Amino acid sequence: MNVAINNKALHIGVSFLSFGKNVFGGMEKGWYNLCQGFLENNHGVSVFTGCMTGVSSEIDGIKIYRSSCLPKKVGGNTADLATKLVVERENIKKDFDDYQKTYKPDHLILVDPLWGILQVSEAWKISNAPISISYHIANRSGVRREIMATSFQIPYRRRFAVSKFLIEEINREFLESESKEIIVKPTPTYIGDYIKEYPTENYIFCNSRIDPIKRIDTLVYAFSKIHKKYQIKLKLCGGGSPFMDLNSELEKIKKIVKDLKLEKEVEFLPRLEWEEIPELVLKSKLIVLPSSRETFGGAALEALVAGRPLVTTTGGNLPVLAGRSGVIVEPGNIESLAGAMDEVLGNYAKYEHKALNGRELFNKFDRKVVAGEMLDHLLRKG
């Protein structure tokens, strides 16, 4: 549905510190797609952000306002980020006011209580438009917990979360959230990227960054048990992150590969452009995502819309997303993971047929559809 007021297009503003293209993963890619979805619904969109991911003033039709007082680098200590937003509070307010005068957004959406900038800097208090917030994780510890708790005291127009699993987790952790309506807003993808057809190649692809929570170590160990039987390769995303140092985990995985003598069978891909990922997914024989926990599971969704057989885990929202289209095991269980991979590869025609037949079930996650539904909620009275 194309949402507008009196048939006039809206302008949607988004506030997100790390907005960009071809940067990091889930949140960034999801919000790039959502912004494209707003444009595809014939509405304007602009983003209030910093210079962490670039300096361009427009990305594929999305207008970008870059505040020079926002941090250009963020390490693993989120308390430092919160402190910087407080220290620069007045300058951020000035830039935000200039952003509003420039783009005149009808609605504003904060991406995360901390990374959305406006809550901690208190710039939300000078907003000329109603503000909503989008949750991607439960923020259960340290300063992020305090910031998360504060988000339920602020009169946001709407609260969104990427999955029912995340909403339930938020409700368990924050009693004050139970009186607030939180609406499921899934992380979208662009279905058009996955309608091409390529001949299948004999490799397993794990479309996840190498991070401890992704449990790539269990995948490598499981792969070592089945690769000779199928003469199959494994492709891993070896590119780094612009926001945190994951080199130690990458080196750990490389050592496991070396110790298992799998250097010729395992390929570490460089940091990928987003437009490269659909072809890698579509050509793969099997997608395996061994993550211990996902609040949504964007990489799993990419496999599902591509119609590729998927082995994943019970971690977080993954079983809800994969449903009948994936083979699901407990995270961290090497034997179960190897057994699932063996089952799919040994009965491949069956699992490929099931995956291809189920792909249309996931059209509801297309970015235009999700953006249109989000706009409906923003305009709903009450």
**Structural domain range at position 93:** 11-188+366-379
Residue 57 exposure: Cα atoms within 13 Å on the Cβ side: 3
pLDDT value at residue 6? 47
In a domain, 1, yes or no: no
Distance (Å) of CA 153 to CA 145, 147, 148: 13, 10, 10
Tell me, letter by letter, the H, E, C secondary structure of 237-263: ECCCCCCCCCHHHHHHHHHHHHHCCCC
pTM as predicted? 0.94
Q: Tens of pLDDT along 212-263?
A: 999 999 999 999 999 999 999 999 998 765 555 567 889 999 999 999 999 9
* Claim to verify: residue 79 and residue 165 sit in the same structural domain: yes
Q: Tens of pLDDT along 88-142?
A: 999 999 999 999 999 999 999 999 999 999 999 999 999 999 999 999 999 888 8
Q: Residue 64 belongs to a domain with what CATH number? A: 3.40.50.2000
pLDDT value at residue 5? 46
* Claim to verify: residue 126 and residue 31 sit in the same structural domain: yes
* Claim to verify: residue 178 and residue 299 sit in the same structural domain: no
* Cα–Cα distance, 182 to 169 (Å, whole number): 12
* Cα–Cα distance, 232 to 290 (Å, whole number): 18
Work out how many domains the chain is built from and give that number: 2
In a domain, 206, yes or no: yes
* Claim to verify: residue 36 and residue 68 sit in the same structural domain: yes
* Claim to verify: residue 200 and residue 243 sit in the same structural domain: yes
- Using CB atoms within 10 A of its CB, is residue 7 exposed (0-12), middle (13-18) or buried (19+)? exposed
Coil, helix or strand at residue 293: coil
AA letter at 343: E
Helix (H) or strand (E) holding 305: helix 298-306
In a domain, 252, yes or no: yes
pLDDT reading at 2 higher than 60: no
* Claim to verify: residue 349 and residue 217 sit in the same structural domain: yes
* Claim to verify: residue 184 and residue 196 sit in the same structural domain: no
* Claim to verify: residue 183 and residue 196 sit in the same structural domain: no
Q: 71-75, 222-226, 339-343: lowest mean pLDDT where?
A: 71-75
Average pLDDT, the chain: 93
* Claim to verify: residue 220 and residue 332 sit in the same structural domain: yes
pLDDT value at residue 244? 56
* Claim to verify: residue 338 and residue 200 sit in the same structural domain: yes
* Claim to verify: residue 198 and residue 330 sit in the same structural domain: yes
Q: In this structure, what token pair is assigned to residue 238?
A: 């070896």
pLDDT value at residue 235? 98
* Claim to verify: residue 237 and residue 112 sit in the same structural domain: no
In a domain, 348, yes or no: yes
